[in-house]
Amino acid sequence: MREQTIRAIELAAGLGLFLSACLYAMTILSVLDSGLTAAAAMTEEQNAGVSTFPAVSESMEPYFTGSEVLFTLREVQSGQLEAVIDGLRFAPGTELESMDLSVIDSDGRYAADYHRESDGAVDLIRFVKVR
């Protein structure tokens, strides 16, 4: 009789643990579902397109920030193209550590002028600071 009582208590404890684990899992799934529903409602009206620079209209000239110009210099360093920034020439393969980059205002706005080769590939970008 004693063994049957111990088994019944063990079975009841195991069943209680199992039911509490199931209830906990259902609660977690409910919280995740409500979070996903809220996220879907927030992003429902958003445009899925990616814009690389802010523009008001199609005819507006794109401007680049100084930090974007500095990022473009990485392509110059890898030898892909040449850049001229406010009259300072960066030849392909230029080591940026040896150049004076203080002429580039990281908060400034720059207009870009592209020069292309005969096959259409960009070989020179001229950045001029917009005052």
Does an H or E element contain 67, and which? helix 66-77
8: its two tokens: 């019944």
Higher pLDDT, 2 or 45: 2
Query: How do the domains of the chain map onto residue ranges?
Result: 1-45, 63-129
Long-range CB contacts (within 8 A, 24+) of 15-18: none
**Residue 99 pLDDT greater than 60, yes or no:** yes
pLDDT for res 24: 97
Query: Tokens 């203080």 identify what position?
Result: 102
Report helix, strand or coil for 108. Answer: coil
Question: How, if at all, do strands 63-65 and 88-90 pair?
Answer: unpaired
pLDDT for res 22: 97
pLDDT average, residue stretch 19-38? 95
pLDDT digit string (tens) for 63-84?
888 888 888 887 777 777 888 8
pLDDT for res 118: 86
107 close to 65: Cβ distance less than 8 angstroms = yes
Please list the residues that pair with 65 across neighbouring strands.
Answer: 109
